[in-house]
Amino acid sequence: MKQKGVFLLLFMAILYTSPAQIMFQRHYGGAGDDGGNAVIQTSDGGYLVAGLTDSWGAGSKDIYLIKTNEYGDTTWTKHYGGYNWDSPVAVLEGTDNFYYLSGNTSSQGSGASDVFLMKVSLNGDSVWLKTYGGTEDDSGYDLIKCNDGGFIIAGASCSFAIGFNSMYAIRTNENGDTLWTKTYEKEYFNDAYSVIQTPDNGFLFAGYTSTGGSSTFDCYVVRTNSTGDTLWTKTYGGISRDDLACICKSTDGNYFLSGTTASFGAGGYDIYLIKIDTNGGEIWEKTYGGTANDYGYYCTASSFGAVIVGGTSSFGLGGSDVYMVAVDQNGDTLWTHVYGGADDDWVNCIQKTTDGGFIMSGYYNFNISSDVYLIKTRADGFAGIENNEVPGIVINVYPNPCTEILTISSQFLFKGDVIVELVNFQGQKLLTERIVQTSNNLVSLNVSALPSGIYYLSLFSGDSQISKKVIIN
């Protein structure tokens, strides 16, 4: 305990002597359902979100790209797709100054659903799109760039499976031309949700295998050589349903596997984290969550250990909220944060940022529709904004401190209705309201029911956000 306390003190000392880090919570979208499936920090310091939209486009769901600057302000948006649905699941930036995204399409290809790989310019213009798969349902869930400049996509295939579906690997060159494809299966149902390249240019695939039925899922990892031939396979889990959503490499050379378990933990489902060595041997396994359902989606390694994100109904304000858990190399919890409003909110992806913080993308639900949810945190996972205002825009908040009615004024012309959010120091969103602005550009907010403390006030209007620190007595 003493060593852990010293580590936490050092961690906090480093954090608060580091340069100021940008933090924000933003949401984007139209009148329909929109959401963010993947996000990266781009080479210009901004962010690129790949998601879904039915607010715009030709089909029932279309690919939605949002490019922002470092503050989360929109630079451009694009949507792509055909007459049916098209869904991106992963995005990356190449060294050739182009973006690449992969996912699933029912608008193009030869089957009911096919895997796609798409190349777009830095301005979002489509360069090419390739599809992969057979005559049945085939899906892509993860994309990485390989050491030789090509790509590998991990997913699932019904077209080429012996059972119902198999893990599916598609290896391409830099132009998206297929070099080889492989399928892997242990039981009747098998999915690969994540892939990582190993130092010897082989691959590790993580997902699940199942004989069928909700209680027969096991975590499944396949290790291959550089041409996709199987070197070994491992299963992990207990007697109930367990599956993996992500694999990432630890700074000590081992690997973290994140997912969800119903076999262990305190609730119906809990976040499941397994640490394995390079041969797949289990070093330890841990669960995180409360007495309700908590799900682990994505993990990223950090200098102190790993950060896992997912959804929680054990904590927070809504039916489901964003759950962020940081652990050390032994799986012991360092800190947790919960984000979201009164409805169901979750994130699907987390990435480290160059300032030491994290960026996450997902879904933010408000009333009857959802928006793309983008969260930028500090190194300690906190996403409040300490008077980090948009350059050139000044807001006045008064009285501050406030006991009842908080008034916000600005020379900034709000675009239609304004969404106002108050977040406390623990990262909990305690108030979200949509307010019709007055003719004199004033916004009033009743805060009398909130506990006393320091809050971060954010105003969202169109694609713009303004933030301020306020004190409530």
**Identity of the amino acid at 387:** N
Question: Are the CB atoms for 390 and 344 separated by under 8 Å?
Answer: no
**Phi and psi at residue 151, to the nearest 5°:** -135, 160
Q: Measured between alpha carbons, how far is 88 from 339 in angstroms, rounded to an integer? A: 24
CA 284/CA 264 separation, integer angstroms: 13
* pLDDT of res. 352: 96
How far apart (Å, rounded) are the C-alpha atoms in residues 195 and 200? Answer: 14
Which structure tokens are listed for 138? 């085939």
pLDDT at 18: 44
Q: What is the CATH number of domain 23-377?
A: 2.130.10.10
Radius of gyration of the chain (CA): 22
pLDDT of residue 72: 93
Query: Would the CA dihedral through 145, 148, 149, 155 be positive or negative?
Result: negative
CA distance 441 to 411: 8
Q: Mind spelling out the 3-state secondary structure of the chain?
A: CHHHHHHHHHHHHHHHHCCCCCCEEEEECCCCCEEEEEEEECCCCCEEEEEEECCCCCCCEEEEEEEECCCCCEEEEEEECCCCEEEEEEEEECCCCCEEEEEEECCCCCCCEEEEEEEECCCCCEEEEEEECCCCEEEEEEEEECCCCCEEEEEEECCCCCCCCEEEEEEECCCCCEEEEEEECCCCEEEEEEEEECCCCCEEEEEEEECCCCCCEEEEEEEECCCCCEEEEEEECCCCCEEEEEEEECCCCCEEEEEEECCCCCCCCEEEEEEECCCCCEEEEEEECCCCCEEEEEEEEECCEEEEEEEECCCCCCCCEEEEEEEECCCCEEEEEEECCCCCEEEEEEEECCCCCEEEEEEEEECCEEEEEEEEECCCCCCCCCCCCCCCCCEEEECCCECCEEEEEECCCCCCCEEEEEEECCCCEEEEEEECCCCCCEEEEECCCCCCEEEEEEEEECCEEEEEEEEEC
φ, ψ (nearest 5 deg) of residue 219: -65, 140
pLDDT of residue 4: 38
> 126: which residues sit within 8 A by CB, 6+ positions away?
80, 118, 119, 120
- Distance (Å, whole) CA 153 – CA 194: 9
Where in the chain are all domains bearing CATH 2.130.10.10?
A: 23-377
- CATH 2.60.40.3080 assigned to domain 395-472? The reply is yes
Residue span(s) of the chain under CATH 2.60.40.3080 come to: 395-472
Can you name the residues that pair with 131 across neighbouring β-strands? 116
Checking DSSP bridges between strand 126-132 and strand 189-197, what pairing results, if any? unpaired
The count of other CB atoms within 10 Å of the CB of residue 285 is 19
Note if the pTM is more than 0.85: no
Q: What is the pLDDT of residue 438?
A: 59
Q: In a structure prediction context, what are the per-residue pLDDT tens digits for the chain, which is 473 residues long?
A: 334 343 433 444 444 344 567 888 898 998 889 999 999 999 999 999 999 999 988 778 999 999 999 999 999 999 998 888 999 999 999 999 999 999 999 998 887 899 999 999 999 999 999 999 999 999 999 999 999 999 999 999 999 999 999 999 999 999 999 999 999 999 999 999 999 999 999 999 999 999 876 568 999 999 999 999 999 999 999 999 999 999 999 999 999 999 999 999 988 999 999 999 999 999 999 999 999 999 999 999 999 999 999 888 888 766 788 999 999 999 999 988 888 877 888 899 999 999 999 999 999 887 678 999 999 998 889 886 333 344 445 577 889 889 999 888 765 555 556 778 887 755 567 888 877 655 666 778 889 999 888 787 877 665 455 667 788 88
